[in-house]
Amino acid sequence: MRPTIIVGNWKMHTTRTEAANLAAAINDCLHTRTLAPNDRIILCPPFPFLEVVQQQISHAQLFLGAQNLYPGDAGAYTGEVSAPMLRSVGCQYVIVGHSERRKIFGETNNLINAKLKAARQHGLTPILCVGETWEERCANQTETVIAHQLSEGLADIEAGTSPAFCIAYEPVWAIGTGHAATPEQAQVVHRFIRQWIAAQYGDPFADELPILYGGSVNPSNAAALLSQPDIDGALVGGASLKADSFCAIIDAG
Ligand code: PGA
């Protein structure tokens, strides 16, 4: 059985003190819960607060992740952060190809592919985000768009040790809008992603691959989303910024 993975993507929110307090509150709340043995909770704070968040983590199933990385190891890349740097502050996961990075910062599938390779080369598990816009959905392009993001994003990526990466399906129209995909809408796309992965990597790998849903997940809709057969977790933005709501989503898993 696949584990449940709940990721908090704090985006460009929190101060240093707020980040430490939020991480400590989530860590405390996990100590009062009994999670299934392989379930994982991942916190992705802004870069400057990675270390202070890591210092709050004592629960064995709570991990540190970053929101982005640059594919080079080191060098003249002003403002960028590399995989070895992330590893050195305790990161084990990294979000790659979030739709905000694609849209606002012009990230291409090729760059995202390079980031995935750099992450894996340095022992970070990448969480590859894919998803369609509302216009693409209305034009019945959802599967075409996602297949394209997967084939270019995962180009030359070997399966390796399983699971070598995670996928997050994040419909762009659901992110930060308060309008999550329905569980049925999300399940259809998650099933499509798993079938696409099975065709490329084989059934055993696809069966173990965690596929997370992201886009307006909150304590009220989490249980229904997470009960779908191909939804293995959640990538949570706004609702991850309060310990109460994030822990309620964990409880729904
Ligand atoms: P949201 O963000 O939960 O605020 O919609 C999700 C995400 O962008 O990862």
Amino acid at 130: V
Distance CA(226)–CA(14), nearest Å, equals: 27
pTM of the model as a whole: 0.97
Q: Is the CB of 219 under 6 A from ligand 1?
A: no
CA of 104 to the centre of ligand 1 (A): 15
Answer whether 217 contacts ligand 1 (Cβ < 6 A).
Answer: yes
Dist. CA 95 → ligand 1 center (Å): 12
**What confidence score (pLDDT) does residue 163 get?**
65
Which residue of 170, 246, 249 sits with most ligand 1 atoms within 8 Å of its CB, as the best mutation to test the pocket? 170
State the Cα–Cα distance between residues 210 and 247, nearest whole angstrom: 20
CA distance 108 to 88: 27
Question: Would the CB of 65 count as within 6 Å of ligand 1?
Answer: no
Per-residue pLDDT tens listing for the chain (253 residues)? 899 999 999 999 999 999 999 999 999 999 999 999 999 999 999 999 999 999 999 999 999 999 999 999 999 999 999 999 999 999 999 999 999 999 999 999 999 999 999 999 999 999 999 999 999 999 999 999 999 999 999 999 988 766 689 999 999 999 999 999 999 999 999 999 999 999 999 999 999 999 999 999 999 999 999 999 999 999 999 999 999 999 999 999 8
Query: Is 132 one of the annotated active-site residues of the chain?
Result: no
What are the tokens at 119? Answer: 């992450």
Q: Distance between CA atoms of 100 and 141, rounded to whole angstroms?
A: 20
90 ligand 1 Cβ < 6 A: no
- Report DSSP letters for 13-55, one per residue: ---HHHHHHHHHHHHHHHHTS---TT-EEEEE--GGGHHHHHH
Q: Give the pLDDT confidence score for residue 162 in this predicted structure.
A: 62
Q: Is 175 in the pocket of ligand 1 (CB under 6 A)?
A: yes
Out of 102, 134, 212, 235, mutate this one to test ligand 1's pocket (max ligand atoms within 8 Å of CB): namely: 235
* 67-87 per-residue burial string, b: 16 or more CB within 10 A, e: under 16: bbbbbeeeeeeeeebbbbbbb
Query: Can you give the pLDDT at residue 193?
Result: 98
Residue nearest to ligand 1 atom 3, measured at CA: 237
Cα–Cα dist 178/238, whole Å: 10
* Residue pLDDT, tens place only, 220-247: 999 999 999 999 999 999 999 999 999 9
Output the pLDDT for position 55. Answer: 98
Annotated catalytic residue within 13, 98, 132, 152: 98
